[in-house]
């Protein structure tokens, strides 16, 4: 039996692969559904959403609504930032939706999707935003809004295990999977054909744990999906991820007998944000940079994280004390610039661990760019200055990504790109819009529109995306730093 057959039975519309879905960048969603595709999805599948309700009363006659939303902790759903604020793709989508319908939100974090599904089915919340996949089992219990993302089932294994062609290749292997994940359905279906198939279900809020166990030799393979399989190969570059089944749509889940008008509002919301680019921007924030490094690049960082980073950790933490910028982001920037080599020199004459120009060093009163004690705090201050120059409408994290681009190409070129953006139909306050424009700045037609002249904008984009990935890796393996010392956990 192939994975696709075991994972999901055919539906009247042909199964999830036959229903239109978001285009994925390699193994990860990168492009949202278009409105035309959304319309097809509404009409092509066997269970279209209900008709729109009667027109609601005027806003002044409506009772304030507090949405109760179930979610789970995780990088793709809901988590706490270092400053205590909440983030996550699902979290951000819910907040935008609540603002649109003038509602407040109460998030209730559950230990797993396995716990969320029956709670929604029982009507114990308005809906769940927990990365729930639309499968035959979940469709029987819940009603779904329009999918906003698709994921591919993957097997993640170490290099000693040959690429599995089907579940028969996993017989006798130590297989791990997150409890409550859609992969459990796939395994139970396969077990009917392969009774000896066995696996261990991990009850954890860390979706990376199955892959971590494989990397540490405590398991032979993990069954996951492309959201986490691609990230895992960044954290553990010796692992290999193999697609092993059809794509599954991810959507918000509503009770079968819940508020029809609320479901219809959610349908309209997802249609709008797919059309105006909001969905693409949010997906880019969390996933847009995760697939750009080769395994050798990641392995090199992990080795230097052990052998070199300890020499400079306190200096990066000093940079955090001066600027409030996470020391791990500063370390990621320095690694991208110099691979933590204090003697590095580029063909353009920038030098040192933070690759400062001579003019920038002079302005920051750095007498020796090759001295990390001077260069690292100065580089942190320079990045903070660039970030602070951006207008207020540029919010985080886009503000930091633009500051990193300016660190590479200069603030004048970045500001020039932001000036051009509206004329190209792009929003200058979003990084994913500038990512599209910056590589064009080396072309004569665009360079002529810049006061600062042509720029290597493509290089700046690659630099920012690499730094974002290095930062993710350092956050995985290095503890945060608290300058007050109250909750500091250091190596």
Q: How many CA atoms lie within 13 A of 77 on its CB side?
A: 27
Q: Residue 222: its pLDDT value, please?
A: 96
Instruction: Spell out the residues 6+ positions from residue 248 whose beta carbon is closer than 8 angstroms to its own.
Output: 7, 8, 16, 133, 134, 135, 150, 151, 152, 153, 182, 225
Residues 292/470, Cβ–Cβ less than 8 Å: no
291-314 per-position pLDDT tens digit: 667 888 899 999 999 999 999 999
pLDDT digits (tens, 9 = 90+) for 36-90: 334 434 433 444 444 444 444 455 545 568 999 999 887 778 777 665 677 788 9
Give the number of other CB atoms < 10 A from CB of residue 15.
Answer: 18
Convert the pLDDT of each residue in 436-467 to its tens digit.
999 998 888 888 888 877 788 899 999 999 99
- List residues with catalytic annotation: 337
Residue 327 CA neighbour count, 13 Å, CB half: 22
Confidence of residue 6 (pLDDT cuts 50, 70, 90): very low
pLDDT at 487: 44
For residues 21 and 312, give the distance between their C-alpha atoms in angstroms, rounded to a whole number: 46
Instruction: Report the distance separating Cα 14 and Cα 491, nearest Å.
Output: 53
* Cα–Cα–Cα angle for 405, 409, 410, rounded to 5 degrees: 95
Compute φ and ψ for 410, nearest 5 degrees.
95, 145
Reply yes or no on whether the pLDDT at 426 is more than 80. Answer: yes
Q: What is the pTM of this model?
A: 0.74
* Per-residue model confidence (pLDDT) at position 90: 92
Query: Is it the case that residue 255 has pLDDT exceeding 60?
Result: yes
Q: Is residue 472 very low, low, confident or very high in pLDDT (cuts 50, 70, 90)?
A: very high
User: Phi, psi (5° rounding) for residue 156?
Assistant: -110, 125
Buried b (16+ CB within 10 A) or exposed e, 389-415: ebeeebeeebbbbbbbbbbbbbbebbb
The C-alpha atoms of residue 153 and residue 450 are separated, in whole angstroms, by 46
pLDDT at 11: 31
Coil/strand/helix, residue 447: helix
Average pLDDT over residues 141-166: 90
Q: Is the dihedral of CA 430, 227, 334, 357 positive or negative?
A: negative
């Amino acid at each position: 039996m192939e994975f696709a057959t075991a994972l999901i039975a055919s539906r009247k519309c042909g199964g999830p692969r036959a229903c239109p879905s978001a285009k994925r960048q390699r193994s990860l969603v990168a492009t949202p559904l278009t409105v035309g595709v959304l319309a097809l999805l509404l009409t092509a599948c066997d269970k279209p959403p209900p008709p729109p309700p009667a027109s609601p009363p005027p806003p002044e006659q409506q009772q304030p609504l507090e949405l109760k939303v179930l979610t789970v902790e995780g990088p793709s759903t809901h988590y706490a930032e270092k400053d205590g604020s909440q983030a996550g793709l699902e979290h951000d989508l819910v907040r935008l939706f609540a603002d649109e319908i003038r509602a407040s939100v109460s998030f209730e974090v559950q230990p797993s999707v396995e716990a969320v599904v029956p709670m929604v089915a029982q009507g114990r919340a308005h809906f769940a935003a927990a990365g729930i996949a639309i499968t035959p089992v979940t469709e029987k219990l819940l009603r779904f809004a329009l999918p906003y993302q698709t994921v591919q089932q993957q097997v993640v294994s170490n290099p000693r295990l040959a690429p599995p062609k089907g579940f028969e290749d996993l017989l006798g292997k130590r297989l791990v999977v997150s409890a409550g994940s859609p992969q459990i359905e796939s395994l139970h279906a396969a077990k009917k054909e392969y009774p000896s198939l066995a696996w261990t279900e991990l009850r954890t809020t860390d979706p990376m744990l199955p892959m971590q166990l494989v990397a540490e030799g405590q398991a032979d393979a993990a069954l996951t999906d492309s959201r986490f399989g691609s990230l895992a190969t960044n954290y553990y570059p010796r692992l290999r991820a193999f697609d092993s089944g059809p794509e599954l749509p991810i959507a918000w889940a509503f009770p079968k007998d819940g508020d029809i008008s609320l479901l219809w509002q959610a349908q309209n919301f997802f249609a709008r944000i797919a059309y105006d680019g909001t969905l693409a921007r949010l997906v880019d924030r969390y996933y847009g940079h995760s697939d750009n490094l080769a395994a050798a690049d990641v392995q090199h960082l992990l080795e230097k994280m052990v052998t070199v980073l300890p020499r400079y950790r306190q200096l990066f933490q000093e940079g955090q004390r001066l600027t409030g910028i996470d020391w791990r982001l500063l370390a990621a920037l320095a690694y991208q610039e110099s691979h933590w080599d204090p003697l590095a020199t580029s063909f353009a004459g920038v030098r040192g661990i933070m690759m400062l120009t001579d003019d920038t060093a002079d302005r920051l009163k750095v007498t020796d760019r090759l001295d990390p004690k001077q260069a690292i705090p100065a580089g942190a201050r320079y990045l903070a200055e660039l970030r602070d120059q951006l207008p207020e409408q540029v919010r985080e994290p886009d503000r930091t990504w633009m500051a990193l681009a300016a660190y590479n190409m200069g603030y004048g070129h970045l500001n020039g790109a932001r000036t051009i953006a509206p004329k190209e139909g792009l929003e200058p306050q979003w990084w994913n819009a500038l990512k599209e424009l910056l590589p064009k700045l080396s072309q004569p037609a665009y360079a002529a529109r810049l006061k600062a002249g042509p720029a290597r904008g493509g290089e700046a984009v690659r630099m920012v995306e690499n730094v974002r990935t290095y930062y993710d890796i350092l956050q995985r393996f290095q503890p945060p730093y608290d300058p007050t010392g109250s909750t500091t956990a250091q190596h």
